Amino acid sequence: MKRGSGSGAKKGSDDYVIRVFDDPLALDATAWNALLARQAHPTPFMRHEYLAALHASGSANARTGWSPAFVTLWRGGELAAACPLYRKSHSYGEYVFDWAWASAYERHGLDYYPKALVAVPFTPVPGSRLMAADSASRAALVEALVHVCGEEKLSSLHLLFGDEADIDAARASQLMLRHNVQFHWQNLAPTLGTDVSSLPPEGAAPPWERPGGGAARYTDFDAFLASLNHEKRKKIRQERRKVADAGVSFRWSAGAGISQADWDFFYRCYEQTYLEHGNAPYLTRDFFHRMQHTLPQHWLLFVAERGGRPIATSLIATTQETALTSSHNHSENPAKIAWGRYWGALERVDCLHFEACYYQPLQWCIAHGFDRFEGGAQGEHKMARALMPVATTSAHWLAHPAFADAVDRFLTQEGEGIANYLDHLKERSPFRERE
């Protein structure tokens, strides 16, 4: 099977033609995006523009340890299945940690790297990974991935943050499953009716769901606060007050409305925050330049200002309105989702991070009728802001039989621990109890 342009091809099962692309820019962007739009859980991070920008900007390419090997399946000249595959020489930027596995390989004199990774670099966002026209094509894609790993003598294959269809296909091919936890906010008041628009007096019971049941969206940020217990509500009020008392205000802009000056200031903050922690940022300025010009419709920027000067930013990704009404979408009413992605500050203000990365985005989501805000990987502290635990799943295949058996046993034990952890977290709900 030839590499490079993807012009080389090999017949797979059921007359699929397999092409592997070492350069995402060589892929047909229209065909890729059209296939993505047919999936159950598409995200902007799987769009060709996003993946191509990661590569072309130098953020995720062979030099940085992310060697693209995008796998595509063709049938009758049509793209039937595809996914972003990377040959990895390290495990940075993945958010599903396998350092212990790599260490075990090394102790036994075996090479864990390079490995194969189906994921969006630096982006722990659940969604469709194995894009396919149907379930048969998705199963064939998993088979092709394992074949590519065997042909290139890669130690392992890892599919991260896949959706239900991806995980079902991986399970059917005997890949091992691993579970983790993220924290997501839902725009569904667990106890409030649609008529609630302001906070009740402290100690008073809020109105519950209207007769007939069914949770309703929050009408405003006060309605959201009214759904929380006294401790959490008081804490959020205090945190927001600290930021306001420090003289900080916020403005937001979206899409093409984000100015060049704001993009430049955002990157200055983003880079500075990474450097303060002793690391260079994963993403280059050129990557965000490409986002500004090739995928502007998916970005929302909050800018914190004090004394007329910008001091911090928070960059959020969103679904776009044009996609929400597209007939190509899997669902007639796909969810409107916002993803917390990047932040940075040039000045220290108590609680500014919480305001920029949680309260401002949640307030915006409520005002604009968004269904969900995903806060990214890890972080139990997010529960205090009503981001609730959600299980995520990855799938893994190891070429070495003995190590595969050992990892399978480990994942069984780890999975039990994750299930117990989820149960424990759900007992700590920040919401008011029904009275």
Asked whether residue 202 is assigned to any structural domain, the reply reads yes
CA distance 197 to 190: 15
**Are 232 and 169 members of one domain?**
no
| Pair 262, 292: CB distance under 8 Å | no
Grouping H, G, I as helix, E, B as strand and the rest as coil, residue 324 is: helix
Measured CA to CA in angstroms, residue 151 lies from 90, 254, 422 at distances of 20, 45, 39
CATH number at residue 214: 3.40.630.30
**Are 157 and 270 members of one domain?**
no
HSE toward the beta carbon, residue 410, CA cutoff 13 A: 12
**Are 52 and 157 members of one domain?**
yes
Q: What is the mean pLDDT of residues 320-337?
A: 55
User: pLDDT by residue (tens digit) across 362-416?
Assistant: 999 999 999 999 988 778 889 999 999 999 999 999 999 999 999 999 999 999 9
Asked whether residue 272 is assigned to any structural domain, the reply reads yes
Asked whether residue 382 is assigned to any structural domain, the reply reads no
**Are 87 and 231 members of one domain?**
no
| Pair 95, 309: CB distance under 8 Å | no
CA distance 22 to 271: 29
What is the end-to-end Cα distance of the chain in Å, rounded? 65
Mean pLDDT of the chain: 89
Asked whether residue 64 is assigned to any structural domain, the reply reads yes
Question: Within a 10 A sphere around the Cβ of 282, how many other Cβ atoms?
Answer: 18
CA distance 17 to 413: 39
**Are 171 and 258 members of one domain?**
no
User: pLDDT by residue (tens digit) across 338-362?
Assistant: 999 999 999 999 999 999 999 999 9
Least Cα distance to 388 among 267, 269, 227 occurs for 227
- Which one is predicted more confidently, 333 or 90? 90
**Are 266 and 292 members of one domain?**
yes
CA distance 93 to 227: 36
What are 55's two structure tokens? Answer: 């590569």
For every residue of 384-400, DSSP letters joined together read GGT-EEEEEEEEEEESS
Judged against a pLDDT cut of 50, whether residue 5 lies above it is answered with no
CA distance 162 to 129: 5
Those residues with Cβ within 8 angstroms of residue 105's Cβ, 6 or more apart along the chain or in another chain? 111, 112, 155, 400, 403
**Are 177 and 291 members of one domain?**
no
Asked whether residue 375 is assigned to any structural domain, the reply reads no
Least Cα distance to 128 among 84, 165, 174 occurs for 165
Measured CA to CA in angstroms, residue 165 lies from 123, 260, 280 at distances of 19, 39, 36
Beta bridge partners of 68: 86
Grouping H, G, I as helix, E, B as strand and the rest as coil, residue 151 is: helix
**Are 321 and 402 members of one domain?**
no
**Are 209 and 335 members of one domain?**
yes
CA distance 404 to 392: 21
pLDDT of residue 175: 98
pLDDT of residue 27: 97
Phi/psi class of residue 383: alpha, beta or left (left: φ > 0; alpha: ψ in -120 to 50)?
Answer: alpha
CA distance 425 to 407: 26
Grouping H, G, I as helix, E, B as strand and the rest as coil, residue 319 is: coil
pLDDT of residue 20: 97
Asked whether residue 340 is assigned to any structural domain, the reply reads yes
User: pLDDT by residue (tens digit) across 29-70?
Assistant: 999 999 999 999 999 999 999 999 999 999 999 999 999 999
Asked whether residue 17 is assigned to any structural domain, the reply reads yes
**Are 157 and 72 members of one domain?**
yes
Angle subtended by helix axes 285-294 and 48-56, to nearest 10: 150
Measured CA to CA in angstroms, residue 103 lies from 65, 107, 412 at distances of 18, 6, 20
User: pLDDT by residue (tens digit) across 245-288?
Assistant: 999 999 999 999 999 999 999 999 999 999 999 999 999 999 99
**Are 262 and 313 members of one domain?**
yes
pLDDT of residue 121: 98
Least Cα distance to 203 among 223, 233, 238, 242 occurs for 233
Those residues with Cβ within 8 angstroms of residue 429's Cβ, 6 or more apart along the chain or in another chain? 388
| pLDDT > 90 fraction of the chain, expressed in percent and rounded | 83
CA distance 332 to 326: 8
- Which one is predicted more confidently, 123 or 331? 123
Question: Within a 10 A sphere around the Cβ of 403, how many other Cβ atoms?
Answer: 18
pLDDT of residue 12: 53
Q: How many domains does the structure of the chain reveal?
A: 2
Judged against a pLDDT cut of 90, whether residue 325 lies above it is answered with no
| Pair 83, 130: CB distance under 8 Å | yes
Which structural domain range is residue 349 located in? 189-370
- Map tokens 């969006």 to a residue: 120
Cα 110 vs. chain centroid, distance in angstroms?
32
| Pair 245, 293: CB distance under 8 Å | no
**Are 139 and 204 members of one domain?**
no
Asked whether residue 3 is assigned to any structural domain, the reply reads no
